[in-house]
Amino acid sequence: MKLEVMPKQRVLEAEQREEAMELSGLELWKHEKPPRICPMPSLIPPEAAGDEAALVPPLNFAMVDDGIFRSGFPETSNFRFLKSLNLRSIVYLCPEPYPETNTEFLEENGIRLHQFGIEGRKEPFVEIPDEKIREALKVVLDPRNQPLLIHCKRGKHRTGCLVGCLRKLQKWCLSSVFDEYHRFAAAKARITDQRFMELFDVSTLKHLTPSNC
């Protein structure tokens, strides 16, 4: 089979046509509008874009029941969040004086402080005052004090004991009371706390009517 050889003139003409097509394509691109680049939508909501608008809950914050919350000690960064709860009261379970900054926040927002000083000692030198827990429960279960926040230092032991006794009054089974306590205390759970909750007598508080009881 004989191969046909393209004459030199035809090769030159073909190259000239290709070059002309490339140039015409470039000329067309010069006259076209550049593609429009749309910015990606922001993934951060405008209301949370600035630090001033952020709502930061305190350490170990959780809802216990309607109008009842628990947490660790609130910092100044948590004030905006606490304000959103429309609190009437704070139940404070530490013996140390309430910090001036926190006291000013309570006064500015019409929040009443109920302090029940319970020492936060480590085992085996832990003695939980039964009477203070009872008095604190009366405050917690009074609808006139709600919404309210219960807190100690870390929101684990003293707060955990008070909430555990509340659960007994709400007729929770003991295993559920301990499960909730462990969720907050974790590796710091104390046998003495659990023994206190187990032996706590709710019979003298049955006239109180907590929600879901």
Query: What structural domains and CATH numbers belong to the chain?
Result: 62-203 (3.90.190.10)
CB count, 10 Å around CB of 126? 18
Higher pLDDT, 71 or 47: 71
b/e for 179-207, b at 16 or more Cβ within 10 A? ebbeebbeeebbebbbebbeebebeebee
Q: So what's the pLDDT on residue 15?
A: 63
Q: So what's the pLDDT on residue 44?
A: 40
Instruction: Please list the active-site residues.
Output: 152
What is the average pLDDT across 31-55? 48
In this predicted structure, the answer to whether residue 46 has a pLDDT above a threshold of 80 is no
Q: So what's the pLDDT on residue 139?
A: 96
How far is 36 from 28, CA to CA, in rounded Å? 18
Question: What's this model's pTM, rounded to 2 decimal places?
Answer: 0.71
Among 43-47, 66-70, 89-93, 97-101, where is mean pLDDT lowest? 43-47
- The mean of the pLDDT values for the chain is 80
